[in-house]
Amino acid sequence: MDLRGNDARDKRRRRQRTRLLRLGVAWAIVAMWCAGCSSGDGETPTNREAVPVLTESRFGTSGGFVDVDGDGIEDLVIGAPEASGSPKKGAILAYLGTADGISTTAAWEIMGEESGDNFGFSFANLGDVDGDGSADFAAGALYAAGATPFSGNVTVYQGGDSAPAVLGRLNGTQPHGRFGYAVAGGDLNADGYSDVIVSALHASGDAFQSGIVYVYLGGSDLSSTPSAVIKGDHPNHGLGFSLETGDINGDGTADLFVGAHDAVFIYYGGTDFIDRLGADTTPDVTIYGTSETGGRHSGSGFGDSIAFIGDVNNDGVGDVAIANPNRTWPDVYDNIGSVYLFAGSADLPPSFYESDPNHRLAKITGDAAGDRFGSALAVIKDVNDGGLPDLLVSAPWASGGPSDSMPVAGKVYLFHTEAVMAGSADNLDVADAAGVYTMETPFGEFGKVLGACSDGNFFTSAPQSNQNSGMAYAYDLRAGSSTEIGNH
Partner 1 sequence: MRPYQIAVCVTILVVLSFIGISTGDTPFTPRGQRWEPAPEGHIIGKDNGVLTGDSGALADHFQGEDCAICHTPGGKAGAYVFSISGTVFKDKLGIEPLVGAEVIIRDVEGKVISLTSNEAGNFFTYAPIAHDPAAGSDPDTPRNWRYKSWVKYGESVRPMVTLAYVGAMAHYIPRMSCNMHHGRMGTRGTVSAGTFDTLAAYPDQNISFAAHVMPILKNRCKACHMPAATNPFTTYGDERFDYSGGLDLSAYAKAPGSSRGITDTINLAQPAQSPLLIRSLPGSLHSGGSFWEIGDPEYETIRLWIAEGASDN
Per DSSP bridges, beta strands 179-186 and 62-66 are unpaired
Nearer to partner 1, 36 or 146 (CB): 146
401 binds partner 1 (CB under 8 A): no
What type of residue is 171? N
335 binds partner 1 (CB under 8 A): yes
Build a one-symbol-per-residue string for 58-87: x at contacts with partner 1 by CB under 8 A, - elsewhere.
-----------------------------x
Q: Burial of 393 by CB count in 10 Å (0-12 exposed, 13-18 middle, 19+ buried)?
A: buried
Considering only 9-17, 96-104, 378-386, 470-478, which stretch makes contact with partner 1 by CB under 8 A?
A: 9-17
- By C-alpha distance, which of 242, 177, 243 is closest to 210? 177
Minimum CB distance to partner 1, residue 280 (Å):
22
Minimum CB distance to partner 1, residue 12 (Å):
5
Minimum CB distance to partner 1, residue 372 (Å):
8
30 binds partner 1 (CB under 8 A): no
Nearer to partner 1, 154 or 408 (CB): 408
* Residue 422: other Cβ atoms inside 10 A: 11
Tell me the three state secondary structure of residue 452: strand
**Contact between 40 and 97 (Cβ < 8 Å):** no
3 binds partner 1 (CB under 8 A): yes
- Kindly identify the residues of this chain, within the stretch 434-473, that bind partner 1 according to CB under 8 A: 442-443, 464, 467-468
Sign for the pseudo-dihedral over CA of 323, 324, 330, 335 = positive
Nearer to partner 1, 13 or 276 (CB): 13
**Contact between 400 and 440 (Cβ < 8 Å):** yes
Among 184, 379, 408, 453, binds partner 1 (CB under 8 A): 408
297 binds partner 1 (CB under 8 A): no
What torsion, rounded to 10 degrees, do the Cα atoms 390, 396, 399, 403 define?
40
Q: What is the CA radius of gyration of the chain?
A: 21
19 binds partner 1 (CB under 8 A): no
Considering only 65-73, 168-176, 303-311, 351-359, which stretch makes contact with partner 1 by CB under 8 A?
A: 168-176
346 binds partner 1 (CB under 8 A): no
Distances from the Cα of 266 to the Cαs of 131, 165, 246, 352, in angstroms?
26, 32, 10, 12
Among 59, 65, 143, 179, binds partner 1 (CB under 8 A): 143
Minimum CB distance to partner 1, residue 245 (Å):
24
Minimum CB distance to partner 1, residue 136 (Å):
27
**Contact between 364 and 420 (Cβ < 8 Å):** yes
**Contact between 339 and 347 (Cβ < 8 Å):** no
Considering only 25-33, 155-163, 234-242, 446-454, which stretch makes contact with partner 1 by CB under 8 A?
A: 234-242
Minimum CB distance to partner 1, residue 139 (Å):
18
**Contact between 71 and 99 (Cβ < 8 Å):** no
DSSP letter (8 states) at residue 201: T
17 binds partner 1 (CB under 8 A): no
Strand partners, 154: 140, 170
Tell me the three state secondary structure of residue 471: strand
DSSP letter (8 states) at residue 90: B
272 binds partner 1 (CB under 8 A): no
Minimum CB distance to partner 1, residue 208 (Å):
5
- CA-CA distance, 301 to 336, in Å (whole number)? 11
Nearer to partner 1, 3 or 30 (CB): 3
CA angle 18, 470, 373 (to 5 degrees): 85
Nearer to partner 1, 247 or 304 (CB): 304
- By C-alpha distance, which of 379, 374, 149 is closest to 245? 379
Minimum CB distance to partner 1, residue 62 (Å):
14
User: What is the length of the chain?
Assistant: 488
Nearer to partner 1, 115 or 424 (CB): 115
- Kindly identify the residues of this chain, within the stretch 191-210, that bind partner 1 according to CB under 8 A: 201-202, 204, 207-209
User: Dihedrals φ, ψ of 440, to 5°?
Assistant: -105, 50
176 binds partner 1 (CB under 8 A): yes
Among 90, 116, 318, 337, binds partner 1 (CB under 8 A): 116
4 binds partner 1 (CB under 8 A): yes
**Contact between 153 and 179 (Cβ < 8 Å):** yes
Q: Put residue 164 in one of left, alpha, beta given phi > 0 → left and psi -120 to 50 → alpha.
A: beta
Nearer to partner 1, 152 or 246 (CB): 152
Considering only 132-140, 229-237, 433-441, 446-454, which stretch makes contact with partner 1 by CB under 8 A?
A: 229-237
Among 165, 166, 332, 422, binds partner 1 (CB under 8 A): 332
Per DSSP bridges, beta strands 428-429 and 411-415 are unpaired
Q: How many residues bind partner 1 (CB under 8 A)?
A: 45
Q: Which residues in this chain contact partner 1 in the complex, by CB under 8 A?
A: 1, 3-4, 8, 11-12, 15, 87-88, 114-116, 118, 143, 147-150, 174-176, 201-202, 204, 207-209, 234-236, 298, 332-333, 335, 369-370, 397, 399, 407-408, 442-443, 464, 467-468
